[in-house]
Amino acid sequence: MNHFEKHLCRLCGNSMLTPLYREDFLELRQTSIAVHTNSFIYLLCSQCGLVQVEPTPAPEFLERYYRYAPVAGLDHELLLTVKDQYYQETIEFLKRLQPRRIFEVGAASGYLLHQLAETFQATVGGLEPSDASRRWARNKYGIKLLPGMLSNLDIKAHRLQGAFDLVIACAVLEHAAWPVAFMRTAGDLLSKGGYIYIEVPSLSHPLKSELTEKVVQPFHLCYYTPASIIHLGARAGLTCIHVEEIKTLVVPIYRALFLKQSSAAITEKLFRAHVQWFDNRLDLILEDCRRYIGGASNVWIWGIGDDFFKLWTLSPETFDPTKCRLVDRNAVKISKHLGPFEITPPDSDLCGIPDVILIASSSHLIWKNILKDAQDLFPQTPIHILYKGDYNDRAY
């Protein structure tokens, strides 16, 4: 298969691009919106999976097209009948976020913003290049949209830096020639921990399926796969936390949600949360040990390994050597010492009859075997599994 090496992937910079499809389109000129036919080609990046269109119209031509495009003059009420159910599905998905400050890029006639404002009692703003659509949004819904394209938006001048907790772009990102710059600028609108929600058309395995008229348009400049969507977030300093294909629509789409945090920051946060959870769990287990040991005279701690060693290291004073016995059936461990303790086999002749047995292994298989053994030997003795599940569900 031929490769186009004169073009670079606009997402990852890879030079190995495979041609998928060629078509004619109307080229933009200074004197008119579209007066001349030319050809364009879809190229698939072998590295990140992005599909991009070449050649790309100049930015000033695109802005002129979207400002005066014929779609802006369509009956907006007719568009609502087609898109209402589609928008309701979008709103349902966004309910998990409960946003209070929302900005929409490519807000069209403002219908979705209006619905979001009512649903979430949110403050809303948006950007729309079409003059006719902005007038409709203002007259119909009282929403004043900013003019122009995201690439030209002066965020600082409009005091929009970090002003929103949700930015949405539905059927917009595929019109952006440089998606990383688009997402970075959208990210600048977000406060820390905010979200970007996008919807883009799906080509559904372009190497195996024909591109349809419903999807292929001369001003759809990029198409995405789940892999390229995730890669896009990483390149823009965001983390994609959800991506799915919606196949129930006439034109399948990908829906994706990005968090304004790098994957490294999220990983560190999750790691710290896990460490904190583990520390809290050990503290609760030690509290249980103190309670059980405090009210008994002969406590067997059964299953001596790394799990018990963690408890011993954190709080050796919890385990009173005059009350506790360390027991295990593993011959390798028997007669080994841990502080003042010697590990012995579970033998009542050696250790006496236990008042309570604490099973100290977190391994499901090991504590199940110990539990059966202990119940057979001492059916009347209370048994507690220190590492089992919830803290109110560990007594036998």
- Say if 45 falls within a structural domain: no
The tens digit of pLDDT for each residue in 297-353 reads 999 999 999 999 999 999 999 999 999 999 999 999 999 999 999 999 999 998 999
pLDDT at 76: 64
Residue 174 sits in the same domain as residue 88:
yes
141 and 217 share a domain? yes
161 is a domain residue: yes
Is the same domain home to 363 and 277? yes
pTM for this predicted structure: 0.67
Contact 233/257 with Cβ under 8 angstroms? no
Same structural domain for residues 230 and 282? no
Q: Quick check: 12 pLDDT over 50?
A: yes
Question: SS3 of 322, please?
Answer: coil
Q: 334 and 237 in one domain?
A: no
Task: Evaluate whether residue 15 is within a structural domain.
Answer: no
Distance CA(306)–CA(304), nearest Å, equals 7
Q: Are residues 149 and 107 in the same domain?
A: yes
Same domain, 186 and 278: no
> Are 158 and 287 part of one and the same domain?
no
Q: Is 50 exposed, middle or buried (0-12, 13-18, 19+ CB in 10 A)?
A: buried
- When the pLDDT of each residue in the chain is averaged and rounded to a whole number, the result is 86
Q: Is residue 219, in this structure, part of any structural domain at all?
A: yes
| pLDDT, tens digit (0-9, with 9 covering 90-100), for 174-230 | 999 999 999 999 999 999 899 999 999 987 654 445 554 445 666 889 999 999 999
Domain span at residue 380 reads 267-385
Closest among 176, 166, 125 to 146, alpha carbons compared: 125
Q: Residue 308, SS3?
A: helix
The position carrying tokens 């040991």 is: 293
| Residues 100 and 190 grouped into a single domain | yes
The better pLDDT of the pair 267, 43 is held by: 43
Kindly report the CATH number assigned to the domain that includes residue 63: 3.40.50.150
Residue 82 has a pLDDT of 64
Domain endpoint, select from 261, 289, 323: 261
251 and 112 share a domain?
yes
Confidence of residue 280 (pLDDT cuts 50, 70, 90): very high
Using one digit for the tens of pLDDT, what is the confidence trace for 37-95? 567 788 999 899 999 988 888 888 888 888 876 555 455 666 666 677 778 889 999 99
Q: Is 26 a residue whose pLDDT tops 60?
A: no
Has residue 354 got a pLDDT over 50? yes
For range 352-376, the mean pLDDT? 93
Single out the residue in 217, 243, 261 at which a domain terminates. Answer: 261
In this predicted structure, what is the pLDDT of residue 298?
A: 96
| Same domain flag for 221 and 158 | yes
Peptide bond into 55 cis (omega under 30): yes
* Total tally of structural domains belonging to the chain: 2
- The pLDDT, as a whole number, for residue 63 is 84
pLDDT for 24 beyond 90: no
Q: Can you give the CATH number for the domain in which 280 is found?
A: 3.40.50.720
> pLDDT category, 23, cuts 50, 70, 90?
low
Question: Minimal CA–CA distance to 356: which of 313, 312, 297?
Answer: 297
Residues 272, 377: one domain? yes
Q: What is the pLDDT of residues 125-166, one digit of tens each?
A: 999 999 989 999 999 999 999 999 999 999 999 999 999 999
Q: Which residues contact 199 (CB under 8 A, 6 or more apart)?
A: 90, 169, 170, 171, 253, 254, 255, 256
* Listed residues 261, 282, 312: the one ending a domain: 261
